Amino acid sequence: MPKIVIENLFNLTIDLPSSTSKVIEIIHESGMDWMHACGKKGRCTTCKLIVLEGIENLSEMTDREKVFHIQGRLKSNERLACQVFLLKGDLKVRVAEPNKFPHISYSE
């Protein structure tokens, strides 16, 4: 069973029986808040995932992500949670420092 591990949320693990949802939806359905200032439309980078492991398990970069990558707003190990699907395997990520919520305790 694939899983998403959020390292700086005390290794929060979200098990996925099977999903066709975007990563941000999977995180929200697990009860965890994840920033998305533009309403999950790929217009900003507030839902950025820093991918530590499993980038090969994600869907191809969308046109919106490519624009942010060209602009230097997304590094090669970063993806937008509102644009990406976990297609297979596991994913280990971190919440980017500027995208942390003040009401959530993070680990380092």
CA nearest 2: which of 91, 62, 82? 91
Distance CA 38, CA 67 (A): 16
pLDDT surpassing 90 at residue 1: no
List of residues 6+ apart from 61 with CB closer than 8 A: 69, 79
Q: Which CATH superfamily is domain 3-98 in?
A: Beta-grasp domain (3.10.20.30)
Q: Each residue of 25-70: pLDDT tens digit?
A: 999 999 999 999 999 999 999 999 999 999 999 999 999 999 999 9
Distance CA 97, CA 22 (A): 22
Given a contact cutoff of 8 angstroms between Cβ atoms, the answer to whether 48 and 81 are in contact is yes
Q: Look at phi and psi of residue 19 and say left if phi exceeds 0, alpha if psi is from -120 to 50, else beta.
A: beta
pTM for this entry: 0.93
Given a contact cutoff of 8 angstroms between Cβ atoms, the answer to whether 74 and 80 are in contact is yes
